[in-house]
Amino acid sequence: MTTEPIAPPSSPQDAASVLPAPAASGTGGAGTGGAPPLYRRLLARLVEANPAVVTVLSVFTALVFGGILIDVTSSGVVHAWSHAGSHPGRALSLTFTTVADAYGAILSGSVLSPSTLGHAVSTGQGWAQVFNPISETCVAATPLILAGVGVAIGFRTGVFNIGAQGQLIAGSIVALYVGFAVNLPIWIHLPLVILAGAAGGAAAGLIPGILKARTGAHEVIVTIMLNYVFLNLLNYVLGGAPFQLPGQTNEISQKMLPSARMPHLFGSSLRVNLSFVIAIAMAALASWFMNRSTLGFSFKVSGANANAARTAGMSSTKVTILVFAISGLFAGMAGMATLSGTNFFLSSGYGGTIGFNAITVALLGRNRPWGVVWASMLFAMLDVGGASMQIRTGITLDLTAVIQATIIFFIATPMLVREIYRLRSTGAGALQLFTKGWSG
Amino acid sequence: MRLELDGITKRFGPLVANDHVDLTVEPGEIHCLLGENGAGKSTLMNVLFGLLHADSGEIRIDGTPVTFADPGEAVRHGIGMVHQHFMLIPVFTVAENVVLGFEPTRRFGWLDRRRAHAEVRRLSSEFGLEVDPGALVETLPVGVQQRVEILKALQREARLLILDEPTAVLTPQETEALFRIMRSLRDSGRSILFITHKLKEVLSVADRITVMRLGRVVGSTTPDEADEKSLATMMVGRDVELVITKTPASPAEPVLQLEQLSVADERGVTVVEDVNLEIRAGEIVALAGVQGNGQTELAEAIVGLRPVRSGVLRVEGADLTDATPRERIRAGLAQVPEDRQADGLVLSMSIAENLILDQYDAPPFARHGVRDLSAMRAYGARALSEFDIRAASADVPAGTLSGGNQQKVVVARELSRKVKVLVASQPTRGLDVGSIEYVHRRIVDARNAGAAVLIISSELDEVLALGDRVAVMYRGRIVGIVDPAVGRETVGLMMAGAGEVPPPPPAVNATLGPGDGS
Ligand SMILES: Nc1ncnc2c1ncn2[C@@H]1O[C@H](COP(=O)(O)OP(=O)(O)OP(=O)(O)O)[C@@H](O)[C@H]1O
Ligand SMILES: [Mg+2]
């Protein structure tokens, strides 16, 4: 036998051989000493296509793409390049300043504008103007956060809830009713309104949940159809008593009583209100729920491996029904938040496309509640800042929609991002989520 | 192809999975790689196949240094690999999977199905690996999926074939067939790197044997110079008890009772028919049978993953025929599922979470619906050392574990609860000899503590070593229940549907006739 002598285990650690090899014995070969230095490990982490890196790069790539779009549609830039022979420097600088102006306008419209700040500092007045952009961004982000977290919880559990829009409307209708039909002191009225929104959304979520759990109906189709049901339900209830504003023929509802409205956080000149705090608190609660509650754990297990969940005795019926109820609850609260925070009444088309953008921010936030918060803030910034960009630079608001869509395009095609940036692939399971949910 | 690995080192964080590994595979050689669970065999093969990148070291083919950025390059250099865990796309057909990446196309790039099917048929007849090209992979039993993997590797004209534990899921007959293929490939000048934990196989098929431990090569030998005992010692670093010694069973009252049980498969075909079986507290019944004779379905029906078509299932007299998996777990049933990755584990979750998957909502791991993460972690750390699961910590995802260590997680979970009935399908699949010894001992301990144990195994050695009684299944029926002392020969014949059925051992009352349903 040409066996090398097998050294008897030299230390108890070696014998137990739980492997984090002590540097001395594990890496003691010729030439290499110790683990690679920190910067190399960091770099390795970065070039590995871990999902967070792909997400950040997707946003970055989309912004670059948006920049290119701004340039090629700007007559000034195009004109400068057609005369680039004589003024190459000018063409180049215009290329960058045009994009910088546009993105600068978005930032100053959604976060902080240097000119209003300067004005406020020098005159001591107009502080509301300074904080107005960020306040507006928070207001716009509030329903996105709530609905997005709800959708994200569904994704983590392996169900594709496309019905946030309908659940949002359901929650709004119930919250509105409680908001105008009863007269109570604010400290009891407001909590009731919040509960009503949550309950309305949860009830609407139960429908696809029960259908899927009991009959195996595909949740995507059911929830899409239910969106139309709730959309039309809203139009119906707005058409008459008790919801319609008396004396109106338009589809406009009564207003919520003042005791049903969210208090402002920083005075009446800034629209940011308690519902933003509630949204953040609900995201924290969702994060806790997924990580620390037993129900959240069974959600995650069901989403990651339904067979293993079954084997371990988790009931897929219970999980399916409950996850839809909870997902709907968040969507319902999203509808309530804007209603009671800034709108105070319902009209046809209420909710816009929040329910669908919720899917987007859930994906962008990688289905983690805190990720959804950041993604919602980013989307709200683009929405709010886009308007000011249009005013200041004349670039159409649609550009921000293109950027938002492009972000999602790259998120959904991680392979492409990996190729662009030559990232090494790890077994990037989380990245496949987008396609996974559709298999039902 | 002459392959040389020179000083390959691969780290995962603090863990050194391959530590300056040198290995040479000559042309026309079957080279066996042997080593404990977690020794670094799969990691080394993944480095060779371009799936992982070595931190240092060199790969040479016929003397020329090569680097593979991805598996595609490895394939172009004539390397084919059959992975330990299948890399098939479940919703594709066999033919689609085999040609994936090298698809025959018609005009405009449409997949040429007919040619793909023909190609698969040609390959499967050439190598004697029978498959239906049009079958969906997800509907196939694991043994057949394995064949698809091998076809896929062969199709690409590999000059070096890596087989990472291909026989773990094969029947003895399939293994023999695979060995014939391997030998003929070798004789045609191809090289084969073959990983297995079954020492008998190593001795029968290898030309050279290299043994790894803790990421390092600790020796190399040939089948002429080695025997099972010496190989085991070399691998584990200590003497290993290859066949478990156990005291005779002292069965008490019946715990698991199956009466006239029939079970259908996905297509509605009855695959388990009128099975009557009674297992008592404190005995192990081993279910023998060629794979595909209904054992898997029977086990699934017992644990509640598959509906019972007719008949009754009782645990301690209580009718559990229609109980949910959860109710069965509550009633004291535990199971080791056949396919650890599909049914046993959540690969993206931590080892600790996987270890409590069936107790996540019970104290001490949760109170009032709130999980206690520190209790879980402490428990995970304990289980890691108790079951010798090789991992950096209990917090790493189960998916980063070596195959054998994943199996140990499942076994640890099921055996650390106090169980009344244990149903274990292929409990030692993919385990090294040392771990097999340990798991067998734990199963016998569970028996001695009063559990009724049903072992389903395609390893005849395991069946005969563990079983106090051996029930043989053939075409969905239990064709006989015998004492393991009757020997391999007799049981083997019964498994093939032939042979005299010896009378049941006198000490136990196996009811073979129709039960009275009491
Ligand atoms: N992606 C990874 N991240 C972290 N650790 C890993 C990863 N892949 C493997 N390891 C670790 O490297 C070690 C070697 O694993 P490997 O799969 O090569 O073992 P193996 O010899 O094939 O064992 P088995 O016989 O059980 O299949 C194990 O301790 C494993 O946990
Ligand atoms: Mg392995």
- Residue A115 inside a domain? The answer is no
By the 8 A CB rule, do B424 and B404 touch? Answer: no
pLDDT confidence tier of residue A425, bands split at 50, 70 and 90: low
- Residue A184 inside a domain? The answer is yes
Interface test with A, best of B43, B49, B346, B368 (most A CBs within 10 A): B346
Identify the residue with better confidence: B225 or A430. B225
Write the pLDDT tens digit of every residue in A308-321.
999 998 999 999 99
Q: How many A from CA of B74 to the centre of ligand 1? A: 21
**Gyration radius (Cα) of chain B, Å:** 23
Residue B37 CA: nearest ligand 1 atom is: 26
How far apart are the CA of B386 and the nearest CA of chain A, in angstroms? 10
Q: Which residues on A lie below 8 Å from B369 (Cβ)?
A: 293-295
Range scoring the smallest mean pLDDT among A173-182, B169-178, B466-475: B169-178
Q: What is the pLDDT of residue A431?
A: 33
Q: What is the pLDDT of residue A141?
A: 97
| Lookup: tokens for A181 | 């039909």
Separation of first and last alpha carbons in chain B: 66
Among B346, B369, B384, select the one facing A304 at the smallest CB separation.
B346
Range scoring the smallest mean pLDDT among A38-52, A279-293, B363-377, B492-506: A38-52
Among B213, B226, B360, select the one facing A294 at the smallest CB separation.
B360
pLDDT confidence tier of residue B509, bands split at 50, 70 and 90: very low
Do residue A313 and residue B326 have CB atoms under 8 angstroms apart? Answer: yes
Closest Cα to atom 29 of ligand 1: B38
pLDDT confidence tier of residue A289, bands split at 50, 70 and 90: very high
- Residue A306 inside a domain? The answer is yes
Give B 337-366 residues with CB within 8 A of chain A. 337, 342-349, 353, 357-358, 360-361, 366
Q: Under DSSP, is residue B26 helix (H, G, I), strand (E, B) or coil?
A: coil
Task: Count how many pairs of residues, chain A against chain B, have C-beta atoms within 8 Å.
Answer: 147
- Residue A211 inside a domain? The answer is yes
Do residue A26 and residue B16 have CB atoms under 8 angstroms apart? Answer: yes
Q: What is the pLDDT of residue B168?
A: 81
Q: What is the pLDDT of residue B456?
A: 93
Closest Cα to atom 12 of ligand 1: B17
In sequence order, the 6+-apart residues with CB closer than 8 A to the CB of B449 are B418
- Residue A1 inside a domain? The answer is no
Closest Cα to atom 17 of ligand 1: B402
| Ligand with an atom nearest the CA of residue B212 | 1
- Average pLDDT, rounded, for chain A: 84
> How many CA atoms lie less than 13 Å away from B461 in the CB half-sphere?
15
Each residue of B112-121: b (16+ CB within 10 Å) or e? bbeebbebbe
DSSP state of B166: G
Interface test with A, best of B16, B217, B361 (most A CBs within 10 A): B16
Q: What angle do CA A378, A379, A384 make, to 5 degrees?
A: 100
Among A18, A292, A305, select the one facing B384 at the smallest CB separation.
A18
Out of B9, B11, B12, give the residue to mutate to test ligand 1, the one with the largest number of ligand atoms within 8 Å of its CB: B12
pLDDT confidence tier of residue A163, bands split at 50, 70 and 90: very high
Please indicate whether residue B15, judged by its CB atom, sits closer than 6 Å to ligand 1.
yes
In this predicted structure, the answer to whether residue B179 has a pLDDT above a threshold of 80 is yes
Q: How many A from CA of A6 to the centre of ligand 1? A: 22
Residue A427 CA: nearest ligand 1 atom is: 1
In this predicted structure, the answer to whether residue B517 has a pLDDT above a threshold of 50 is no
Q: How many A from CA of A303 to the centre of ligand 2? A: 26
Does any CB of chain A come closer than 8 Å to the CB of residue B269? no
Do residue A21 and residue B215 have CB atoms under 8 angstroms apart? Answer: yes
Chain A: residue whose CA lies nearest to B90: A439
Q: What is the pLDDT of residue B450?
A: 92
Q: How many A from CA of B355 to the centre of ligand 2? A: 20
Question: How many angstroms from the chain centroid is the CA of residue A294?
Answer: 24
Rounded Cα distance between A412 and A54, Å, is 10
- Residue A18 inside a domain? The answer is no
Do residue A308 and residue B346 have CB atoms under 8 angstroms apart? Answer: yes
Give B 230-259 residues with CB within 8 A of chain A. 230, 233-234, 237
Identify the residue with better confidence: A298 or A425. A298
Q: Sign of the C-alpha dihedral, residues B478, B483, B488, B489?
A: negative
Do residue A17 and residue B19 have CB atoms under 8 angstroms apart? Answer: no
H or E element, residue B383: helix B373-386
Please indicate whether residue B42, judged by its CB atom, sits closer than 6 Å to ligand 1.
yes
Interface test with A, best of B83, B300, B357, B386 (most A CBs within 10 A): B357
Q: What is the pLDDT of residue B515?
A: 38
How far apart are the CA of B307 and the nearest CA of chain A, in angstroms? 13
Domains of chain B: 3-236 (3.40.50.300), 241-332+418-518 (3.40.50.300), 346-416 (no CATH)
In sequence order, the 6+-apart residues with CB closer than 8 A to the CB of B18 are B8, B9, B10, B40, B43, B44, B47, B54, B215
| Lookup: tokens for B2 | 């002459």
| Ligand with an atom nearest the CA of residue B428 | 1
Q: What angle do CA B117, B121, B126 make, to 5 degrees?
A: 150
Range scoring the smallest mean pLDDT among A187-191, A339-343, B392-396: B392-396
**Mean pLDDT in residue range B169-196:** 85
Q: Which residues on B lie below 8 Å from A430 (Cβ)?
A: 348
- Residue A204 inside a domain? The answer is yes
Residues, CB-to-ion distance under 5 Å, ligand 2: B 42, 84, 402-403
Write the pLDDT tens digit of every residue in B222-251.
999 989 889 999 888 888 777 778 888 888
Domain encompassing residue A150 = 144-369
Q: Which residues on B lie below 8 Å from A439 (Cβ)?
A: 91
pLDDT confidence tier of residue A42, bands split at 50, 70 and 90: low
User: What region, left, alpha or beta, does residue B215 occupy, with left being phi > 0 and alpha being psi -120 to 50 degrees?
Assistant: left
Q: How many A from CA of B84 to the centre of ligand 2? A: 6
Q: Under DSSP, is residue B509 helix (H, G, I), strand (E, B) or coil?
A: coil
Rounded Cα distance between A150 and A323, Å, is 9
Please indicate whether residue B35, judged by its CB atom, sits closer than 6 Å to ligand 1.
yes
Do residue B392 and residue A27 have CB atoms under 8 angstroms apart? Answer: no
Location of structure tokens 């029926």: B477
Strand partners, B18: B10
Q: Domain tally for chain A? A: 1
Residue B41 CA: nearest ligand 1 atom is: 21
From residue B21, alpha-carbon distances to A29, A118, A186, B45, B210 in Å are: 10, 66, 73, 11, 11
| Ligand with an atom nearest the CA of residue B351 | 1
Write the pLDDT tens digit of every residue in A11-20.
333 333 333 3
Interface test with B, best of A297, A302, A425, A435 (most B CBs within 10 A): A297
pLDDT confidence tier of residue A47, bands split at 50, 70 and 90: low
Residue B46 CA: nearest ligand 1 atom is: 18
From residue A430, alpha-carbon distances to A22, A54, B61, B188, B309 in Å are: 32, 11, 36, 43, 39
Please indicate whether residue B41, judged by its CB atom, sits closer than 6 Å to ligand 1.
yes
Q: What is the pLDDT of residue A183?
A: 93
Q: Which amino acid is at B188?
A: S
Q: Which residues on B lie below 8 Å from A429 (Cβ)?
A: 347-348, 399
Q: What is the pLDDT of residue A407?
A: 82
- Average pLDDT, rounded, for chain B: 87
Q: What is the pLDDT of residue A174?
A: 97
Among A4, A305, A309, select the one facing B218 at the smallest CB separation.
A4
| Ligand with an atom nearest the CA of residue B340 | 1
Q: Is the pTM of this model over 0.80?
A: yes
Identify the residue with better confidence: B170 or B49. B49
**Mean pLDDT in residue range B58-79:** 90
CB-CB neighbours of A29 under 10 Å: 15
H or E element, residue B164: strand B160-164
**Gyration radius (Cα) of chain A, Å:** 27
Q: What angle do CA A34, A39, A45 make, to 5 degrees?
A: 95
By the 8 A CB rule, do B370 and A289 touch? Answer: no
Give B 394-453 residues with CB within 8 A of chain A. 399
Separation of first and last alpha carbons in chain A: 57
Chain A: residue whose CA lies nearest to B329: A313
Q: Sign of the C-alpha dihedral, residues A219, A224, A229, A233?
A: positive
Rounded Cα distance between A180 and B331, Å, is 53
Do residue B305 and residue A424 have CB atoms under 8 angstroms apart? Answer: no
Interface test with B, best of A305, A419, A436 (most B CBs within 10 A): A305
- Residue A160 inside a domain? The answer is yes
Please indicate whether residue B311, judged by its CB atom, sits closer than 6 Å to ligand 1.
no
